Chains A and B, each alone.
Chain A
Amino acid sequence: MVKIQDLRQIFMLESMPDHLLALIGQEAHLSIFSSGTCLFRAGEAVDTFYMVMMGQVALTVALNKEVDVILENIQSGRTFGSSALISGDPAVYTAVCQEPCETITLSGARMQTLFETNHELAFYMMAGVARQYKQTMDSRAKMIMKTLEQHPEMKASIHDIETLTPAY
């Protein structure tokens, strides 16, 4: 069980009505992880949604055998593991605590079951997740554009360039 005022510190839940936060609070757990803890690895199923209260979690991907790329450092107020809430797809990245971390966790399976009966909760959570994806999507697209601008010759070797835009 997690208090509403703690959940309010999570950006994604800022506009969530109190009665829904109370519901989430009943399902949520506070977990503390030591520095270096691997929460999940790329390719593994993601079954837990994480909300960082304190500390920093690095999301990394292996570029090759020698180079690991840090995609993002997740700090307090931010979340990761959204796949647990929608699809159960395998993780794209590995999540490792960079320092001692205090997180609020939600079971993906339990939340998806709740979504089936409480569409208000489901709507607010999906809107929050979509906003976060949009933010990340935009920042990655900007990075790719910047790289292409500096090295236009790379455009030919990037397939699916049209997928830089959110069109379907």
Chain B
Amino acid sequence: MVPIDLLKKIRFLADLPDDIIEKISPLAQKETFHPDSILIRQNQEQHLVYMLMAGKICLNARSDAGRILTLDEITPGRSFGMSALLGNAVATFSAVCTEPCEVITLSGDQMRQLFASDYTAGYAVMGRVAQLFKDRMNKHTWQFLHSLSIHPAINPV
């Protein structure tokens, strides 16, 4: 169980109504991880949503040819692994602690059980996930178009 005031420090949860955060609170776990702990491995199924309270986490992606790109550095208040809420979701990146980290985790299975028994909570959380994924997907589209527009084959120097 994680107190509501701590959960409200997480950007993803901050705007949810209090009564829904109260239902999430008993399902949340606080954990600490050493530097170099691997929280998520790319291409493996995601079971947990991670919300960082303290420390720093790198999100890395390995390309098909084996090259590793660091895509993001997660700082406190941010979350990742939302796909665990959908079930049967495979991670597209690895998450590695670069410092000692304090993390709140939510089990995807337990959250889906909550959603199945409380559709109001399910709608509130899943509506937020859909909106976040949509915003992110649109950004991907613009990034993809930008990468095309500067691609040497399309825009030769």
Interface positions of A (Cβ within 8 A of B): 61, 63-64, 67, 69, 71, 82-83, 86-87, 89, 92-93, 115, 119-120, 122-123, 126-127, 129-131, 133-134, 136-138, 140-149, 151, 154-155, 157-158, 160-168
Contacts and interface: CB of A to CB of B under 8 A. Distances in A.
B96 to A, nearest CB: 13
Contacts of A115: 123
Main secondary structure of the interface of B (DSSP, over half): helix
Given A143-B144, A149-B67, A163-B136, A168 B92 contact: no
A168 to B, nearest CB: 5
Given A71-B141, A138-B92, A151 B151 contact: yes
A86 B59 CA distance: 28
B130 A130 contact: yes
Contact of A129 (B73, B130, B144): B130
16 contacts: A64-B149, A71-B144, A89-B134, A92-B141, A119-B122, A122-B123, A122-B127, A123-B126, A130-B129, A140-B141, A154-B147, A154-B150, A157-B146, A158-B146, A161-B71, A166-B80
B119 A122 contact: yes
Name which of A127, A151, A162, A166 has the most chain B CB atoms within 10 A of its CB.
A166
Interface string B116-138: 00011011001101111110111
B16 interface: no
A86 B127 contact: yes
Contacts of A71: 141, 144
Top 7 A-B pairs ranked by shortest CB distance? A133-B133, A140-B140, A123-B122, A162-B72, A167-B80, A126-B126, A119-B119
Nearest to A87: B131
B11 interface: yes
Given A63-B149, A120-B119, A160-B139, A165 B93 contact: yes
B72 to A, nearest CB: 4
B67 A162 contact: no
B137 A147 contact: no
B143 A146 contact: no
B61 interface: yes
A128 to B, nearest CB: 9
Given A119-B122, A145-B61, 13 more contacts: A89-B134, A120-B119, A123-B123, A133-B136, A138-B92, A141-B140, A145-B63, A147-B151, A149-B67, A165-B59, A166-B83, A168-B11, A168-B82
B36 to A, nearest CB: 19
Given A123-B122, A166-B133, A146 B72 contact: no
